[in-house]
């Protein structure tokens, strides 16, 4: 029988779960507190500039292809993808390297920094290819209910290939000596919430995603993915309710029976919370219906928060590429500030996205749209003085790299930090990307997707399986929908 499923939140996971459920014949309503879909991937326009607010890296294009093809659609039905070349630029203390889209050229770069490193990179990526294949098949199929899923998934057979018990640091140290090469291979895990010491080498699958599958960009911006998924959901019959703030999950006995939305009650047969897990538990439920107590969250390692600046300048920077990583200060010190001392970094690493380099429509003619991101420890209190201080720190280094001053050319400036992530997304400690990908927070160790007391309440999103990032959030929606669909074969 068709069920009325209500979804809290229209981020990637909410859009995904909604579409799968609607396709299976259920009546689906999505309640979203903002006036647009996208969640952390919303966008805004100001002074002729268009800014993506959150994600800017389009990796793992196969996940998006699989998503749309499940609905007999293609990515190109909704947006145009461009492969970036160079994929990105890395700024080191003494020079900058463009990381080309072609693996052979990346290997040449590795050889130029360390004898034989090109062949070693090939070996490392051959192993990461297996991890990508086995790991994504496995993680994408595991709802994370029980350790038995590992047995069922033939996990033991693949255990050694997956390198689950070796850290990324050890795995890299065995192959490379040059610190910059190691940093290059560590950066995907730092940005997605981990350190090389505490992240299993399994996640070198992200290096395969980076160096083999490539860095892509949807013309118009990352929010074009959201627009596409929203359009598809509507085609499938999903009903969206924007400016709809969910205040409570209403339950009776062992069932969720609806939501309180903008002080009105809404009935439901199923509730799926795609807003942050901690918020759902602590604010939308009471202590008799939560899966986890408060302590559970204090003992978790969150992925970083982010200090962001959306900046428009009225001059052009011909030497700047679409993505630039500033690794010109101490990588280990920044990482320690995030995960060990949980303090503001002294000399932060940062990242700049300049999307009008790939799509000129995203900034007025003769201008540049700049997005600066500093990964920082979650839970730090930010003030305007702190935000300003950090902008001043990084802009000087940015000016050195682009070879021109920009401070006097700023025509648009907006700051965004942990306090905004909390206000906008109810993000625990202002986290940007959910939980860090440590071994103890992988697969079956993630917060469970089903409530243990209310048997029709599910959780999806970056804090659940498979983890943080846009592609995993899409998969997370699919995993939850599969469970509800299984329970209700129409
Ligand atoms: C700055 C930044 C940069 C990032 N960069 C990348 C990147 O380059 N590549 C990548 O793959 N990933 C990146 N990520 C991570 C990626 O954006 C997330 O993993 C993904 O968007 C999470 O989707 P979600 O559906 O789990 O959560 P969300 O996007 O947070 O969606 C949850 C939704 O629930 C809504 N909501 C919350 N509370 C309520 C309520 N009470 N009532 C109604 N609605 C509510 C929120 O408004 C939101 O729309 C980045 C994230 C950030 C913040």
Query: Where, residue-wise, is CATH 3.50.50.60 in the chain?
Result: 4-80+220-300+439-487
Q: How far is the CA of 469 from the centre of ligand 1 (A)?
A: 9
Question: Tell me: the pLDDT tens digits for 437-448?
Answer: 777 887 788 899
Ligand 1, atom 31, residue with closest C-alpha: 11
CB atoms within 10 A of CB 453: 15
What is the Cα–Cα distance from 60 to 147, expressed in whole angstroms? 27
For residue 377, pLDDT beyond 80:
yes
Beta strand 49-52 with 43-46 is: antiparallel
Classified as helix, coil or strand, 29 is strand
CATH number given to 4-80+220-300+439-487 = 3.50.50.60
User: Ligand 1: which of 470, 472, 479 to mutate, most ligand atoms within 8 Å of CB?
Assistant: 470
First to last CA, the chain: 5
> What does the pLDDT read at residue 339?
85
Domain 301-425 has CATH 3.40.50: no
484 lines ligand 1 (CB under 6 A): no
120 lines ligand 1 (CB under 6 A): no
For residue 31, pLDDT beyond 80:
yes
Distances (CA, A) of 188 to 50, 184, 456: 25, 8, 36
Query: Contact, 79 vs 338, CB < 8 A?
Result: no
Token reading at 272: 């799926």
Q: How far is the CA of 36 from the centre of ligand 1 (A)?
A: 13
Q: What angle do CA 420, 466, 68 make, to 5 degrees?
A: 90
What is the Cα–Cα distance from 327 to 96, expressed in whole angstroms? 9
What is the Cα–Cα distance from 330 to 113, expressed in whole angstroms? 19
467 lines ligand 1 (CB under 6 A): no
User: Ligand 1: which of 17, 43, 54 to mutate, most ligand atoms within 8 Å of CB?
Assistant: 54
What burial class does residue 298 get, using C-beta atoms within 10 Å of its C-beta: 0-12 exposed, 13-18 middle, 19+ buried? exposed
User: Ligand 1: which of 309, 469, 471, 474 to mutate, most ligand atoms within 8 Å of CB?
Assistant: 469
16 lines ligand 1 (CB under 6 A): no
> What does the pLDDT read at residue 436?
82
How much is the average pLDDT of 318-327?
Answer: 97
**pTM reported for the whole predicted model:** 0.96
Q: What angle do CA 65, 70, 75 make, to 5 degrees?
A: 30
What is the Cα–Cα distance from 323 to 187, expressed in whole angstroms? 13
Query: Where, residue-wise, is CATH 3.30.519 in the chain?
Result: 301-425
Ligand 1, atom 27, residue with closest C-alpha: 11
Ligand 1, atom 22, residue with closest C-alpha: 462
Beta-bridge mates of residue 240: 30
11 lines ligand 1 (CB under 6 A): yes
How much is the average pLDDT of 466-489?
Answer: 93
> What does the pLDDT read at residue 154?
60
37 lines ligand 1 (CB under 6 A): no
> What does the pLDDT read at residue 142?
78
Q: How confident is the model at residue 331 (pLDDT cuts 50, 70, 90)?
A: confident
What burial class does residue 413 get, using C-beta atoms within 10 Å of its C-beta: 0-12 exposed, 13-18 middle, 19+ buried? middle
* CA-based torsion, 476, 454, 488, 258: positive or negative: negative
pLDDT, averaged across the chain: 93
55 lines ligand 1 (CB under 6 A): yes
What is the Cα–Cα distance from 28 to 407, expressed in whole angstroms? 48
How much is the average pLDDT of 52-68?
Answer: 97
What burial letters (b/e) apply to 196-217, b meaning 16+ CB within 10 Å?
bebbbbbbbbbbbbbbeebbbb
Q: How far is the CA of 302 from the centre of ligand 1 (A)?
A: 14
> What does the pLDDT read at residue 155?
63
Query: Contact, 200 vs 169, CB < 8 A?
Result: no
Question: Can you list the pairs that 153-159 forms with residues at least 24 positions away whose Cβ atoms lie under 8 Å?
Answer: 158/134
For residue 401, pLDDT beyond 90:
yes
Q: 56-70, 141-155, 305-319: which has the minimum mean pLDDT? A: 141-155
* CA-based torsion, 357, 228, 188, 459: positive or negative: positive
Tell me which residue has tokens 């009935």: 267
Distances (CA, A) of 427 to 16, 319, 441, 442: 20, 36, 18, 20
> Closest ligand 1 atom, CA of 274?
32
Q: How confident is the model at residue 394 (pLDDT cuts 50, 70, 90)?
A: very high
In 368-481, beta strands by DSSP E? 368-376, 410-416, 457-459
Q: 49-63, 160-174, 422-436: which has the minimum mean pLDDT? A: 160-174
Query: Contact, 17 vs 29, CB < 8 A?
Result: no
Q: 45-59, 179-193, 462-476: which has the minimum mean pLDDT? A: 179-193
Q: How far is the CA of 40 from the centre of ligand 1 (A)?
A: 3
> What does the pLDDT read at residue 144?
76
For residue 322, pLDDT beyond 90:
yes
How much is the average pLDDT of 399-420?
Answer: 98
Q: How far is the CA of 347 from the centre of ligand 1 (A)?
A: 27
Query: Contact, 56 vs 267, CB < 8 A?
Result: no
54 lines ligand 1 (CB under 6 A): yes
Question: Tell me: the pLDDT tens digits for 202-253?
Answer: 888 999 999 999 999 999 999 999 999 999 999 999 999 999 999 999 999 9
Q: How far is the CA of 39 from the centre of ligand 1 (A)?
A: 5
What is the Cα–Cα distance from 203 to 90, expressed in whole angstroms? 21
**206, HSE (Cβ side, Cα atoms, 13 Å):** 26
DSSP conformation class of 209: I
What is the Cα–Cα distance from 99 to 111, expressed in whole angstroms? 13
CB atoms within 10 A of CB 76: 11
């Amino acid at each position: 029988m068709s069920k009325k499923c209500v979804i809290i939140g229209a981020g990637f996971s909410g859009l995904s779960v909604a579409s799968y459920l609607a396709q299976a014949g259920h009546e689906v309503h999505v309640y979203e507190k903002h006036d647009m879909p996208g969640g952390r991937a919303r966008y805004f326009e100001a002074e002729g500039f268009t800014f993506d607010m959150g994600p800017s890296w389009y990796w793992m294009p196969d996940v998006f292809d699989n998503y749309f093809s499940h609905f007999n659609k293609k990515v190109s039905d909704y947006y145009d993808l461009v492969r970036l070349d160079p994929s990105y630029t890395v700024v080191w203390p003494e020079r900058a390297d463009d990381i080309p889209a072609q693996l052979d050229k990346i290997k040449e770069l590795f050889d130029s920094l360390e004898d034989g490193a090109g062949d070693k990179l090939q070996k490392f990526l051959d192993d990461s290819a297996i991890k990508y294949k086995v790991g994504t098949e496995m993680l994408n199929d595991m709802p994370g209910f029980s350790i038995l899923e590992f047995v069922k998934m033939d996990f033991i057979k693949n255990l050694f290939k997956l390198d689950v018990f070796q850290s990324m640091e050890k795995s890299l140290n065995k192959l490379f000596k040059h610190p910059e090469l190691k940093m290059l291979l560590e950066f995907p895990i730092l940005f997605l919430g981990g350190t090389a010491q505490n992240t299993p080498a399994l996640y070198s699958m992200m290096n395969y995603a980076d160096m083999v599958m490539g860095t892509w960009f949807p013309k118009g911006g990352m929010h074009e993915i959201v627009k596409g998924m929203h359009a598809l959901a509507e085609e499938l019959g999903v009903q969206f309710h924007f400016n709809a703030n969910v205040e409570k999950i209403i339950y009776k006995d062992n069932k969720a029976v609806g939501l309180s939305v903008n002080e009105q009650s809404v009935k439901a047969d199923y509730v799926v919370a795609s807003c942050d897990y901690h918020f759902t538990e602590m604010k939308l439920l009471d202590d008799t219906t939560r899966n986890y107590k408060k302590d559970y969250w204090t003992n978790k390692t969150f992925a970083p928060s982010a200090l962001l600046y959306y900046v428009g300048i009225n001059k052009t920077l011909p030497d700047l590429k679409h993505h630039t990583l500033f690794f010109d200060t101490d990588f280990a010190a920044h990482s320690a500030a995030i995960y060990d001392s949980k303090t503001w970094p002294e000399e932060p690493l940062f990242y700049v996205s300049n999307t009008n380099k790939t799509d000129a429509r995203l900034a007025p003619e003769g201008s540049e749209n700049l997005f600066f991101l500093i990964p920082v420890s979650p839970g730090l209190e930010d003030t305007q003085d702190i935000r300003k201080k950090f902008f001043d720190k990084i802009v000087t280094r940015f000016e050195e790299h682009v070879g021109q001053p920009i401070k006097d050319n700023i025509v648009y400036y907006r700051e965004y930090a942990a306090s905004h992530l909390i206000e906008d997304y109810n993000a625990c400690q202002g986290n940007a990307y959910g939980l860090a990908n440590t071994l103890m927070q992988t697969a079956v160790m993630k917060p469970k997707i089903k409530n243990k007391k209310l048997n029709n309440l599910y959780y999806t999103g970056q804090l659940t399986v498979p983890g943080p990032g846009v592609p995993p959030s899409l998969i997370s929606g699919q995993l939850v929908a599969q469970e509800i669909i299984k329970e209700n074969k129409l």
